[in-house]
Amino acid sequence: MSTSDVTKGGIRGERPGREAEAGRGLRPGRRGRRGRRGEELMVPQAEFTSYYGRPVITPPSWQARDIAGYFFLGGLAGAGSVLAAGSHLTGRRTAARALKISSTVAIAGSAAALVHDLGRPERFANMLRVFKPTSPMSMGSWLLAAYGPAAGAAAVLDVTGLLPRTGRTATIGAALLGPAVAAYTAVLAADTAVPAWHEGYRELPFVFTGSAAVAAAGMGLMTAPPEENGPARRAALLGAAVETAAVRAMERRVGVVAETYRHGRAGRLMRAARALTALGALGAALPARCSRPAAAVSGAALLAASACTRFGVFHAGVASAEDPKYTVLPQRERLERRQAEQAGKPAEAERAEQA
Amino acid sequence: MTDSLTRPAPSDGSDQDPAGRAGHEDHPERVGFFTDTSVCIGCKACEVACKEWNAIPEDGLELTGMSYDNTRGLGASTWRHVAFIEQSKPLGHAQAAVDHTDVDVLALAAQGSATPPEQAAITPTTPGPPSPDGRTELRWLMSSDVCKHCTHAACLDVCPTGSLFRTEFGTVVVQEDICNGCGYCVPACPYGVIEQRPGDGRAFKCTMCYDRLGAGQEPACAKACPTDSIQFGPLEELRERAAARVGQLHEAGVADARLYGHDPGDGVGGDGAFFLLLDEPEVYGLPPDPQVTTRDLPSMWRYAGAAALALAGGLAAVFAGPRRAPAGRTRR
Ligand code: SF4
Ligand code: SF4
């Protein structure tokens, strides 16, 4: 049992022999031996070391269906509200109504997914106990608390035809908050130690908003009559282009961690997302112009593509957290870069002195 | 109470008063752990004392094949974890191939534990046959891991309920009656410490025995540690002691002794619980360069803001052009 106390005035009650001479050895003078050892250790080491292959960080315990679903539905709702407001203001009545309804259903679904994923769902209200800018989840809860009612009011007032002016205000309000709802989930994911998310924090918001535009455009194509779906088709192409470019840029940025986006379940989902996006975008650009069934097919492909992207990003994150390689290697590189920078300065000074 | 709500944590290590930043006035001095793994004997008394004192439930009894480590790692129901690493490397100048046939062990035992190595001529292991490359060394590293009670704690920053809070001692504690089990703190921790307890849903981790600290006692693990591998005390004092100890080991020939988490300039502003290690941190399952991700949060919000504006602008632009334009003729 410990008998000593570390105090400001030094250590009290110290046990004699506490400072064990670990590693001193019998003949400390045998430098030659150490030198040889030192050289032997220069043999290139394995790529990285870990503790029995165990993860360094704890992977999120979130359910894919809940949290990836939450990302997807939040994007669909947020971008949908912008398209709904545009349609409303340009007199595309059917499209506006459909998108307002889909945004309301989607945001209700995403809130349900969020609550369902809590370890103590009955304590959901504790989220609104503090307003905490350092926590993206706190900010997101407040955002949803503002956006949800606006989106809901916009839909209800449109369907019932009551209070048209209030309905218009709610529609515009939801459209102003919508992009934030679609983008903040990227910060939610990136503000963790999960390498596949954090290392890509610059591009991830664009992946998410691009994917949100794709989803909302898909919903627009599925629900609006052909004469009203011009904006949705253009939104589909725009969203697909942004998302594809952002995913590329993100994979380049994250270095070795990009493997987690290319292999396993995440790899399959990301490839499916690319194929479905291409299909949907093609449909939006070509035959969907006149035929409603073709527009519906391409809309469904776009919705599925967006969902695949979100689930792909989610699973890439989990895979990157489960393998210590993706935590250790980037940190090693960062550390070595920093040490080289620090070492470079004195070495240069020395060289200058010698010269 | 939470850490500074609006100011991002400074990254230069200048902020070493987390309790004051969290709003505790006249708070006691910051305390911490210094875990000196060079004297750890792997007895797991800390693990047991922690479980007992904090009444942590059992979380599985399995044999892992990971040396003597059947605990696996820190988690919701494991707040101290002793890691065991077997390596074919010498420990400083220690030599394994020593003939012990003429040693009178009873006479040595009578001298007590502080027998100098020259007299003892005893090494911790009996050498086996040399391995193919001629090496006979085996060193067995043991290290008792724990929550780092980071100066800038990611778990605390991201907690949306305020369940995680900074105590007056500068430590980080979860209030179990507030936590709603959102699980955000779990992937936020750069050390993989905090975890949700299966079947309960809430997050749990080391409290540095908040109850004992309040009563002027040292935490249970430090109290139980028979070799003082776990030292508890004022953080400043511990940092000085650690620096001296590392110097002592270097002098003894243990060139790979190094401190981990002691530097207020590191990615988390320094750990409230830091370590003396005998190999690279990742060998012990620790991240080599941990960073509190909330340090990048302002930048993350900027990128997300740009993405949100681009989405709003892009989706507004798709409505440009003649109203109800015949679909076939609109330009993308
Ligand atoms: S080590 Fe992890 S759980 Fe402990 S204070 Fe730091 S971030 Fe929080
Ligand atoms: S799981 Fe509990 S302690 Fe962790 S972030 Fe959520 S509310 Fe806070």
Residues 6+ apart with CB under 8 A from A4: A11, A12, A13, A14, A15, A18, B228, B231
Domain that holds residue B215: 30-93+121-126+135-296
CA distance A148 to A156: 12
State which ligand 2 atom lies nearest to the alpha carbon of B174.
Answer: 3
Confidence band of B133 (pLDDT split at 50, 70, 90): low
Per-residue pLDDT of chain A (355 residues; tens, 9 = 90+): 566 777 777 777 765 556 767 776 665 444 334 333 333 344 344 478 999 999 999 999 999 999 999 999 999 999 999 999 999 999 999 999 999 999 999 999 999 999 999 999 999 999 998 999 999 999 999 999 999 999 999 999 999 999 999 999 999 999 999 999 999 999 999 999 999 999 999 999 999 999 999 999 999 999 999 889 899 999 999 999 999 999 999 999 999 999 999 999 999 999 999 999 999 999 998 755 568 888 999 999 999 999 999 999 999 999 999 999 999 999 999 999 998 998 877 666 666 666 5
- Residue of B176, B181, B239, B187 whose CA lies nearest to B210: B176
- SS3 annotation, chain A: CCCCEEECCEEECCCCCCCCCCCCCCCCCCHHHHHHHHHHCCCCCCCCCCCCCCCCCCCCCCCHHHHHHHHHHHHHHHHHHHHHHHHHHCCCHHHHHHHHHHHHHHHHHHHHHHHHHCCCHHHHHHHHCCCCCCCHHHHHHHHHHHHHHHHHHHHHHHHHCCCHHHHHHHHHHHHHHHHHHHHHHHHHHHCCCCHHHHCCCCCHHHHHHHHHHHHHHHHHHHHCCHHHCHHHHHHHHHHHHHHHHHHHHHHHHCHHHHHHHHCHHHHHHHHHHHHHHHHHHHHHHCHHHCCHHHHHHHHHHHHHHHHHHHHHHHHHHHHHHHCHHHHHHHHHHHHHHHHHHHHHHHHHHHHHHHC
Q: Which of A198-207, B90-99, B204-213 has the lowest mean pLDDT?
A: B90-99
Atom index in ligand 2 nearest the CA of residue B178 equals 7
Can you give the three-state secondary structure of chain B, one letter per residue? CCCCCCCCCCCCCCCCCHHHHCCCCCCCCCEEEEEEHHHCCCCCHHHHHHHHHHCCCCCCCCCCCECCECCCCCECCECEEEEEEEECCCCCCCCCCCCCCCCCHHHHHHHCCCCCHHHHCCCCCCCCCCCCCCCCCCEEEEEEEECCCECCCHHHHHCCCCCEEECCCCCEEECCCCCCCCCCHHHHCCCCCCEECCCCCCEECCCCCHHHHHCCCCCHHHHHCCCCCEEEEEHHHHHHHHHHHHHHHHHCCCCCCEEECCCCCCCCCCECEEEEECCCHHHHCCCCCCCCHHHHHHHHHHHHHHHHHHHHHHHHHCCCCCCCCCHHHCCC
Q: Determine the distance in angstroms separating the CA of A201 from the nearest CA of chain B, rounded to an integer.
A: 6
Question: What is the residue with the minimal CA distance to atom 5 of ligand 1?
Answer: B149
For ligand 1, the distance from its centroid to the CA atom of residue A46, given in whole angstroms, is 29
Residue B230: which CATH number? 3.30.70.20
Average pLDDT over residues B156-164: 96
ipTM of the complex: 0.88
Give a yes or no: residue B315 inside a domain.
no
Task: Name the fold adopted by A64-320.
Answer: Formate dehydrogenase/DMSO reductase fold (1.20.1630)
Residues B226-261 have pLDDT tens digits of 999 999 999 999 999 999 999 999 998 899 999 999
Are the Cβ atoms of B188 and A193 closer than 8 angstroms?
yes
Least confident of A18-22, A89-93, B117-121, B207-211: B117-121
- Residue at B321 is within a domain: no
Measure B88 CA to ligand 2 centroid, in angstroms: 42
What is the tens place of the pLDDT at every residue in B6-30?
Answer: 445 556 666 789 999 999 999 999 9
Q: Where are the domains of chain A?
A: 64-320
Which residue of chain A is at minimal alpha-carbon distance from B217?
Answer: A5
pLDDT of the residue at A291: 80
- CB of B154 shorter than 6 A to ligand 1: yes
- Which residue's alpha carbon is nearest to atom 6 within ligand 2? B182
Nearest to B330 among A1, A208, A230 (CB): A230
CB contact (8 A) between residue B228 and residue A2: yes
Q: Which of A162-166, A172-176, B60-64, B160-164 has the lowest mean pLDDT?
A: B60-64
Predicted structure pTM score:
0.88
Number of domains in chain B: 1
Residue-level pLDDT at B13: 62
